Chains A and B, each alone.
Chain A
Amino acid sequence: MSPLLTIMTLLLSIAMIGGAWVAIRSFSLPMAILAAGLVSLLASVMFLILAAPDVAMTEAAIGSGLTTFLFFFVLGRVKGGEDD
């Protein structure tokens, strides 16, 4: 276990937590969705570090990519609802 890897993990973790904070508390809903996608993307990097390439690919493609788009499709339809 190289210290470099550990530091990277730590940084990633901090970034993810920050992202998650934005995702749950951000004023703007699109921002929140993007932040959630970002958390997902960072997670997939984490999965790579944790020697799980299959999962990493899936998370990147589905968790961060597809889901985000699903969100935006719906977001585009709910006028005025986003601020409730």
Chain B
Amino acid sequence: MIKRFFVLALLFAMGLLFTDLLLSYTPDTELNSTALYYANHTAKDLGAANIVTAIIVSYRGLDTLGEVTVLFLSAAILVLVLPKGWRRGKRKPRILPSTGELLGTGSHLLVPLILLLGVYLFVNGHLTPGGGFQGGAIIASAALLLLLTNPLQPFSRHLFSVVESIAGLCFVVIGLLGIVYAGGFLDNRLLPIGQLGELFSAGTMPILYSLIGLKVGAEFSSMLINLSETKDS
């Protein structure tokens, strides 16, 4: 009880801090210099319609690289963290209650569609809302669906890691090529930027975002699979 009280007092103080922040906040009426630069230069220099994508993939590409690395790390560490016996249990065949006709058939029907949606999202990431992360998550949801229908679904873990690694490697290599052949690391002008609004425009941006999508998808999937695989229950 004392602890709870103490926590409340601390949070109250934090609340004061936040209130302070809140009260000192005045919404901007004009874009600040950074945002203005992005607004004015994205289309012209990078040829991307979705400014957020441009920022993520190009201007702040290093962040994104770090971000996919976070996922890569999480996926890798997940395997390390989970107890040794976690995966062994799957040797024992289990009798599971049927998941039902509807789910089974539905999933077989849905999975390709979902995959397609995912791919669409990240391929068009530089033009429309959505991109690699969203697309990757959706691809992972396909894997999830398969898992739900059949928890014993055999997945080629190696396939995931190869996809993941190749995507990551390509990302890094393209980024580094940017230093040599274009303005800098992850400069998308490695390829011609093309016409604003077209699919094959914005230089390497769609490629990079697709790589991100693949990588994220693979990582999420392997995370889900690793967490779902059962020991004995």
In the complex they form, whether A and B have CB atoms below 8 Å apart is answered with yes
A56-81, CB under 8 A of B: which get 1 and which 0? 11100110011001100110110100
Asked if B130 contacts A57 (CB within 8 A), the reply is yes
CB of B24 within 8 Å of the partner chain = no
Known: A57-B134, A61-B134. A66 touches B220 (CB 8 A): yes
Are the CB atoms of A73 and B228 closer together than 8 Å? yes
Say yes or no: B233 contacts A58, CB within 8 Å. no
In the complex, A53 has a CB within 8 A of chain B: yes
Choose one: B52, B133, B134, B223; the contact of A70 (CB below 8 Å).
Answer: B223
In Å, the complex CA distance between A60 and B20 comes to 30
| A58 to B134 CA separation, bound complex (whole angstroms) | 5
Question: Interface size (A, Cβ < 8 Å)?
Answer: 16
Question: 0/1 per residue, B25-54, Cβ < 8 Å to A?
Answer: 000000000000000000000000010110
In chain B, positions 58-109 with a C-beta closer than 8 Å to chain A are none
Can you list 5 residue pairs at the A/B interface with Cβ under 8 Å? Answer: A56-B129, A57-B134, A62-B137, A65-B137, A66-B224
Tell me whether B130 and A74 are in contact (CB under 8 A). Answer: no
Interfacial chain B residues near A74, Cβ < 8 Å: 227
Q: Which residue of B lies closest to A76 (CB)?
A: B233
Interface pair B227/A58, CB less than 8 Å apart: no
- Min Cβ gap A78→B in Å is 10
Contact A77 to B231, CB < 8 A, known contacts A54-B131, A69-B224, A70-B223:
yes
> Which residues of B are found within 8 Å of A62, using beta-carbon distances?
133-134, 137, 220
List the A residue with the shortest CB-CB distance to B144: A69
Bound-state Cα–Cα, A64 to B173, Å: 33
- Whether A73 contacts B227 in the complex (CB less than 8 A), given A54-B52, A61-B137, A61-B141, comes out as yes
B165 contacts the other chain (CB 8 A): no
Asked if B230 is at the interface of the complex by the 8 Å CB criterion, the answer is yes
The A interface is mostly helix, strand or loop, or mixed, namely: helix
Q: Which residues of B contact A77 (CB under 8 A)?
A: 230-231, 233
Residue of chain A at shortest CB distance from B118:
A61
Rank and list the top 8 A-B pairs by shortest CB-CB distance, nearest first: A53-B129, A61-B137, A73-B227, A57-B134, A73-B228, A54-B52, A62-B137, A54-B129
B212 beta carbon closer than 8 Å to chain A: no
Tell me the minimal C-beta distance from B143 to chain A in angstroms. 11
Docked Cα-Cα span, A76 to B227, in Å, equals: 10
Residue on A nearest B56 in the bound complex, by CB:
A54
Minimum C-beta distance from B19 to chain A (A): 16
Least distance between B107 CB and chain A CB atoms (Å):
15
B138 an interface residue at 8 Å Cβ cutoff? Answer: yes
Q: Which of B113-159 contact A (CB under 8 A)?
A: 121, 129-131, 133-134, 137-138, 140-141, 144
Residues of the A chain whose Cβ atoms lie less than 8 Å from the Cβ of B121 = 57
- Give every chain A residue within 8 A of B141 (Cβ-Cβ): 61, 65-66
